[in-house]
């Protein structure tokens, strides 16, 4: 029977439809895409010029192409372009007479904010996340330094700016040891405010890979149907909630990344830190000049950067991290589980053959696309390292692992025996510590007293006033227990503060460079003086000190070299990772694990989110 609707009912339906459509449009009006550049820098001794070049280019691109109220920049101490600089927070090395000398400049950027923990999270809670909560996208670019917290439950962290103003301090600034942002805290911040929004990220810092856990679990849960009797470890647990986030990192959570350089130049500055922004923006990071149109997304820039990155980096995506976790489940749990169905046992055997080099099979279009991409990556690796070509193309898993860690079989020795073997190696043990103790004694008891007397009596030739005052200060601190003669890091801190570079508004460049140069040459100059001293004990001590090994604080031009060629280890690590990822995907397709495959495709689609068209 045909139902005839009254005109009144049709009118009500039409009004309701218009209402809901209008409501949806209004909702979208309140959502917007936002862009965040974050590079903390840690300290003036670590915030290298390459980080500033990266942050300057990314921030400038965001400011130029997107609305001002949609862009946030957090870099270093927070120097703002067009305003008086507040701190010399960027370390840049320059060549002077055969030495690389440290200098510092303010890392000024448009509308810059200090990269401090509390300020960053407050800005996310109050400004950034509310802007995207109704359905916008947060494009997050993180440079900076990164690390990993110690212990079994350690996680990746972003190192933030560690200095804050302190009028009571001798230097006017105080340092904090807890200025960092970890995965767990950032995930909770996103969950509380992201709403209907989403996050697409690119991170180039060391240990960055841990931030893929913003969106995926460390442990995957197997399907109970895979077992003849579900073991206790495989019983499904309460699912955790993750924010809609995905992106790309320079390396995994356990490894350093390449690129961070206080003296970068176009010929030898290499790494994901440089390659991904230059490809993404179509911009030369040194000159800020356009080199092309740039790419449409972090995903496209990631591919382009990976193809040219022959450093220690191991770039990969969140979707690949997700599959790697499934690979980990297969290898550490399923492969050892006796209570599997015969079908799953066969699929695990296929997984193992794929990791050993067999060509994976899958009809899924996205699978085939990623397979082709990995083939491009491996082909490029073979071109960069022809000596290992056969290994990358046909080597078994064990053969690749032996390239990654040639001593892996030796590590199977029980811990106690291995420790004893290490203790028996020549050159190990107390001898080295004794040498350091002897050098300290020679310096503190013989050379330093004589040198101090000469400096205070103004008997050292060619010692400018600023340098002499600086040296007197160092000697007074050493008399109180400090060690600058044998400790390069401690001396660098004093050089920075006493040179005046910390305050760009008052620094005297000539005086600052004289102090920096003295810091670079101090040990050699003192030993040269002592070798010509009248006192025979001082001369003898100087001879012994000149033979001792100490940490270098500067490098001569002869020590400079271009980027290292791709190592066999890195090539093997990347290749094995690609195999494990594809093998896990092949497994999920073969067992038709729909929830996992659906989640995988969600991550892939999020990673491919294009940058909005410039305003």
Same domain, 344 and 465: no
Q: Which of 191, 206, 155, 468 is nearest to 312 (CA)?
A: 206
Question: Span 168-184, mean pLDDT?
Answer: 91
Alpha carbon distance 440, 114 (integer Å) = 40
Q: Is residue 530 in a domain? A: yes
pLDDT tens track for 27-60: 445 689 999 999 999 999 999 999 999 999 999 9
Considering only residues 257 and 5, tell me which one the structure prediction assigns the higher pLDDT.
Answer: 257
pLDDT at 239: 85
Q: How far is CA 503 from CA 85, 240, 263, 519, in A?
A: 8, 48, 21, 19
Q: pLDDT tens for residues 236-256?
A: 988 899 999 999 999 999 999
Is residue 225 a part of any domain in this protein? Answer: no
Is the predicted pLDDT of residue 565 greater than 90, yes or no? no
Query: By three-state DSSP, how is residue 52 classified?
Result: helix
Q: What does residue 588 show for φ and ψ, rounded to 5 degrees?
A: -65, -35
Residues 347 and 278 reside in one and the same domain: no
Whether residues 555 and 589 share a domain: the answer is no
Query: Of 260, 294, 314, which residue is a domain's last?
Result: 314
- End-to-end, the C-alpha distance of the chain in Å comes to 55
Q: Are residues 304 and 263 in the same domain?
A: yes
Exposed/middle/buried for residue 200 (C-beta within 10 Å: 0-12, 13-18, 19+): buried
Q: What is the CATH number of the domain that holds 300?
A: 3.40.50
Domain identity same for 156 and 256: yes
Segments in 156-263 forming alpha helices (H): 183-193
Which residue, of 290, 314, 338, is where some domain finishes? 314
Hey, what's the torsion of the CAs at 55, 58, 63, 68, to 10 degrees? -80
Mark 290-302 as b/e (b = at least 16 C-beta within 10 Å).
Answer: eeeebbebbbbbb
In a domain, 245, yes or no: yes
**Sign (positive/negative) of CA torsion 342, 347, 353, 355?**
negative
Same domain, 550 and 596: no
273-332 pLDDT, tens digit each: 999 999 999 999 998 888 888 999 999 999 999 999 999 999 999 999 999 999 999 999
Largest pairwise CA distance in the chain: 120
Cα–Cα distances (Å) from 545 to 193, 331, 489, in that order, read 60, 53, 19
Candidate from 222-226, 410-414, 462-466, 475-479 with smallest mean pLDDT: 410-414
**pTM for this one?**
0.89
* Residues 255 and 386 grouped into a single domain: no
Same domain for 466 and 410: no
Residues 605 and 546 in one domain: no
For residue 78, being part of any structural domain is answered with: yes
Enclosing H/E stretch for 265: none
Residue with tokens 């040194």: 286
Q: What is the pLDDT of residue 457?
A: 93
pLDDT score of 578 more than 60: yes
β pairing state of 71-75 and 34-39: parallel
Residues of the domain holding 553:
436-559
- Residues 302 and 327 occupy one common structural domain: no
pLDDT at 421: 41
């Amino acid at each position: 029977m045909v139902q005839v609707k009254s005109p009144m009912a049709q009118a009500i339906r039409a009004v309701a439809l218009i209402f809901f459509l209008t409501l949806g449009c209004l909702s979208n009006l309140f959502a917007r895409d936002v862009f965040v550049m974050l590079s903390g820098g840690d300290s003036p001794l670590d915030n290298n010029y390459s980080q500033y070049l990266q942050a300057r280019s990314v921030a400038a691109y965001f400011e130029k192409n997107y609305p001002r109220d949609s862009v946030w920049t957090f870099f270093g101490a927070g120097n703002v372009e067009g305003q008086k600089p507040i701190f010399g927070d960027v370390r840049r090395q320059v060549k002077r007479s055969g030495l690389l000398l440290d200098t510092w400049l303010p890392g000024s950027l448009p509308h810059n904010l200090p990269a401090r923990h509390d300020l960053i999270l407050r800005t996310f809670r109050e400004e950034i996340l509310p802007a995207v909560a109704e359905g916008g996208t947060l494009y997050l670019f993180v440079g900076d330094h990164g690390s990993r917290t110690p212990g079994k439950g350690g996680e990746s962290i972003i190192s933030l700016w560690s200095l804050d103003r302190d009028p009571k301090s001798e230097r006017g600034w105080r340092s904090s040891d807890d200025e960092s942002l970890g995965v767990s805290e950032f995930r909770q911040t996103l969950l509380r405010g992201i709403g209907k929004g989403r996050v697409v990220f690119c991170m180039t810092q060391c240990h960055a890979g841990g931030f893929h856990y913003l969106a995926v679990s460390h442990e995957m849960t197997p399907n109970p149907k895979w077992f003849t009797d579900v073991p206790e470890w495989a019983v499904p647990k309460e699912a955790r909630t993750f924010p809609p986030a995905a992106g790309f990192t320079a390396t995994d959570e356990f490894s350093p990344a390449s690129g961070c350089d206080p003296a970068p130049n176009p010929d030898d500055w290499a790494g994901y830190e440089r390659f991904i922004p230059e490809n993404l923006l179509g911009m030369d990071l040194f000159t800020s000049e356009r080199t092309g149109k740039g790419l449409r997304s972090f995903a496209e820039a990631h591919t382009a950067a990976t193809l040219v990155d022959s450093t220690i980096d191991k770039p990969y995506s969140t979707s690949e991290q997700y599959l790697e976790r499934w690979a980990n489940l297969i290898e550490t749990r399923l492969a050892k589980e006796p209570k599997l169905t015969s079908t799953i046992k066969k699929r695990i055997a296929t997984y193992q053959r794929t990791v050993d080099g067999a060509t994976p099979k899958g009809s899924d279009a996205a699978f085939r696309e990623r397979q082709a991409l990995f083939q491009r990556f491996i082909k490029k690796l073979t071109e960069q390292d022809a000596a290992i070509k056969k290994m990358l193309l046909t080597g078994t898993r064990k053969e690749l692992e032996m390239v990654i860690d040639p001593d892996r079989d030796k590590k199977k020795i029980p811990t106690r025996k291995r420790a004893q073997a290490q203790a028996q190696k020549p050159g190990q043990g107390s001898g080295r510590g004794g040498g350091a103790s002897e050098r300290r004694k020679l310096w503190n008891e013989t050379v330093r007293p004589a040198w101090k007397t000469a400096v205070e009596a103004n008997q050292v030739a060619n010692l400018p006033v600023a340098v002499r005052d600086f040296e007197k200060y160092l000697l007074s601190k050493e008399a109180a227990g400090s060690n600058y003669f044998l400790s390069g890091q401690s001396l660098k801190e004093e050089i920075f503060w006493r040179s005046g570079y910390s305050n760009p508004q008052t620094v005297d460049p000539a005086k600052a460079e004289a102090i920096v140069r003295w810091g670079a040459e101090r040990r050699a100059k003192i030993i040269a003086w002592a070798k010509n001293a009248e006192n025979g004990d001082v001369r003898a001590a100087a001879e012994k000190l000149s033979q001792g090994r100490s940490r270098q604080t500067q490098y001569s031009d002869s020590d400079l070299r271009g980027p290292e060629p791709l190592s066999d280890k890195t090539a093997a690590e990347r290749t094995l990772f690609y195999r494990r990822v594809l093998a896990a995907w092949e497994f999920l397709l073969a067992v038709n694990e729909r929830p996992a495959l659906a989640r995988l495709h969600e991550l892939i689609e999020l990673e491919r989110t294009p940058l909005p068209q410039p305003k």
